[in-house]
A and B are shown apart, each in its own frame.
Chain A
């Protein structure tokens, strides 16, 4: 870390020495400082290389136990966390809502107390209720990582998105990032709004007015109701998944109409900047919010996001659980 990749990327980490994440909870980007975000991104750079080795494993978290507590279905995020922990040599346990005692009526508090009694070193939680990780964090004494809570935050998604944009663009400050779709129900949107604005980028939102949350402009963003208003100025276009059941909720008339006015396809993309990045947190509804040609096209960094997710989560686990002693770094 002698040559600061952050500085190379065009921004300064002036208060970097104060950023220290050991033992902390990661509940949301809103509460994180620029220095903390910067430290995670920097650390992720060095961890990205581990996944390219023939033996994709370092002993950093040997003897540590990481619990994946998933109360909501997830393939990508759960797998990403599990791979990240395993590549750091931690023992991982996956608990999903269907296999846990939740179905027996056990409360989150009881579940948390029982898990803590088994002495894990980190608990990663995904839950459909906003604020559930905060409830967990109040009760357990080990770091809690929010892997997505309701429509609140999905901090590791934002971190991997920041990492990906910085990797591709060389910087974050000054970029214009358009987030398109169902902002109202999106934790990805909230975390990215906090993340990109904190790192000096400008965030533009676009989507139907029904899916624009109240007073969202107070989060420091501008919003539009037409996709065409944001496409030409965006350096990054992040398409959000439209949940198909929203169709029945009066948020938009039909998927057909949604796709026509808010979907990203090659025709719409013609108005975009030449070096635009296309992102999607997944899982995609191909042909609804994004056409297959765009998703698989030259501007898409959707799979880079997935790859980087592992590096960012490795960095986070390392900093929270194993990052207390500088000596640990030598094991890299």
Chain B
């Protein structure tokens, strides 16, 4: 099935393109980009002397006037829960959620059951992806066996099997010596390590940000320093080893400061944050809704402001969802015992666009953090619009307003703190390898 997308405002951060163009997709690739691509095939040379199929339609024509066509979004940090927790999410359902949210590539974390710490699990994930997923799926392998932080996973084998990065996400590697070895060893295989920065001894039994709100609610707090200590440690180890470090889900002003300073010194470090960290503060926890519980926790308003500034300044390279599906079994319980995390794939784009609407980011900056940057960090050949590239594209209607209703989510889980929020700017069509995998009813 070939597609011709007409009259779109094409925004491609990788090339800096922002222009009204048509895009032709043939055989799963972008074959032509330019103004005024004819809807029917034309022959070479003078009219009438064309090839045999001249005059034939070029495929489905989509009028994208008034809409923005961008490289398919890439989530470099999500939890698809398969294998092991298929009641929360599967690779299939997660890919539906991704497609509905405008994502064409998802990098899934290793904290499955069994853990993705060996070739067999990676191959299983890739097979499920091939057979059932609507989007591309990129597995992230574990740094340590069973995420225990005790001994290295078979990193070379994982790389061979197809992982694009390594992470014990959900847990830090507390042993600094082991993490140093992991960075060194992974560097030899060209893999970036994505670090979940949390000093467990300082975080203790905390369940939310430590601050005025935790004081009011009587919930045990997690100080900013629990994250910042480990960001600083990992930066020091990245400097020591020269390895490629990516810091996951940055939530504090101090972490942004540390990353800024590390980048200024030329250390090989990148960082991401998630939409909830620039949208919600710990004030959202009042009322004890377990859908406001995540790790790292929602921070104080000054941290939220620092995250926004860090994105604007480019200190924070990428926006990732940290999509963490949990069911009522994990969430309809006391706040203390509730599991961490929220689903994010179906709300990340409009929440990111709020930063554009608020004048904090340009559209180009916002999209760069959802496309080109995660592709670069993961080292995957995605995230750009050019002739010859895979036809992964997302069509966005910047003016489309919707009220978030978790009951309509494609994800198997419903744990979102954004239920009932009216947001503006949604993906209306998602194309993966030239195939339309999601479109709003108006476009069918």
Contact = CB atoms under 8 A, between A and B. Distances in A.
Given A134-B287, A214-B210, A214-B221, A108 B215 contact: no
A109 B332 contact: yes
B156 interface: no
Contact of B211 (A150, A153, A215): A215
A130 interface: yes
Given A109-B332, A214-B210, A215-B211, A187 B218 contact: yes
Given A131-B288, A135-B288, A108 B218 contact: no
Interface in A142-183: 149-153
Interface stretch (B39-47, B72-80, B334-342, B351-359): B334-342
B212 A218 contact: yes
Given A135-B334, A135-B335, A150-B219, 9 more contacts: A127-B334, A130-B218, A130-B288, A134-B288, A150-B218, A213-B221, A215-B212, A215-B215, A219-B215
B427 to A, nearest CB: 33
A131 B219 contact: yes
6 contacts: A108-B333, A109-B332, A129-B337, A131-B336, A151-B220, A219-B216
A130 B217 contact: yes
Given A135-B288, A152-B219, A129 B214 contact: no
A107 interface: yes
Contact of A129 (B210, B212, B223, B336): B336
Given A130-B335, A135-B288, A149 B210 contact: no
Contacts, number: 65
A218 B214 CA distance: 12
Contacts of B220: 151
A19 interface: no
Contacts of B333: 107-109, 135
A150 B217 CA distance: 9
Contacts of A187: 218
A241 interface: no
A219 B216 CA distance: 8
Contacts of A132: 334
Interface string A89-118: 000000000000000000111000000000
Contacts of A214: 210-212, 214-215, 221, 223
B216 A30 contact: yes
A216 interface: yes
A190 interface: yes
Contacts of A109: 332-333
Nearest to B333: A107
B334 A213 contact: no
A79 B334 CA distance: 25
B218 A190 contact: yes
Nearest to B285: A131
B244 to A, nearest CB: 36
Closest 7 CB pairs of A and B: A131-B288, A151-B218, A152-B218, A129-B334, A213-B215, A215-B212, A129-B336
Contacts of B287: 134
A287 B174 CA distance: 41
Interface string B202-216: 000000001110111
Nearest to A191: B218
A271 to B, nearest CB: 29
Contacts of A135: 288, 332-335
Interface in A165-215: 187, 190, 213-215
B334 A108 contact: yes
A26 to B, nearest CB: 16
Nearest to A132: B334
Nearest to A128: B336
Interface string B5-42: 00000000000000000000000000000000000000
Contacts of B332: 107, 109, 135
A30 B214 CA distance: 14
A129 B223 CA distance: 20
Interface string B322-347: 00000000001111110000000000
A109 B333 CA distance: 7
Contacts of B214: 213-214
Given A150-B336, A214-B210, A131 B217 contact: yes
A195 B223 CA distance: 28
A130 B338 CA distance: 12
A30 B216 CA distance: 9
A192 B215 CA distance: 14
Contacts of B218: 130, 149-153, 187, 190
A101 to B, nearest CB: 15
A277 B265 CA distance: 61
A68 to B, nearest CB: 19
A219 B212 CA distance: 8
A144 B318 CA distance: 45
Contacts of A153: 218
Nearest to A152: B218
A132 B217 CA distance: 11
A308 to B, nearest CB: 24
B334 A131 contact: yes
A249 B42 CA distance: 79
A187 B219 CA distance: 11
B200 to A, nearest CB: 15
A216 B215 contact: yes
A31 to B, nearest CB: 10
A219 B336 CA distance: 23
Contacts of A219: 215-216
Contact of B217 (A108, A127, A128, A152): A152
B303 to A, nearest CB: 14
A187 B288 CA distance: 16
B221 to A, nearest CB: 6
B254 to A, nearest CB: 15
Residue of B211, B217, B219, B333 with most chain A CB atoms under a 10 A cut-off: B217
A134 B286 CA distance: 11
Nearest to A136: B334
Nearest to A216: B215
A157 to B, nearest CB: 13
Contact of A130 (B210, B211, B223, B336): B336
Contacts of B219: 130-131, 150-152
A151 B219 CA distance: 7
A152 B223 CA distance: 18
A181 to B, nearest CB: 15
A274 to B, nearest CB: 34
Q: Kindly name the residue among B219, B287, B288, B334 whose own CB sees the greatest number of chain A CB atoms within 10 A.
A: B334
A270 B214 CA distance: 36
Contacts of B215: 213-216, 218-219
Nearest to A153: B218
A80 to B, nearest CB: 21
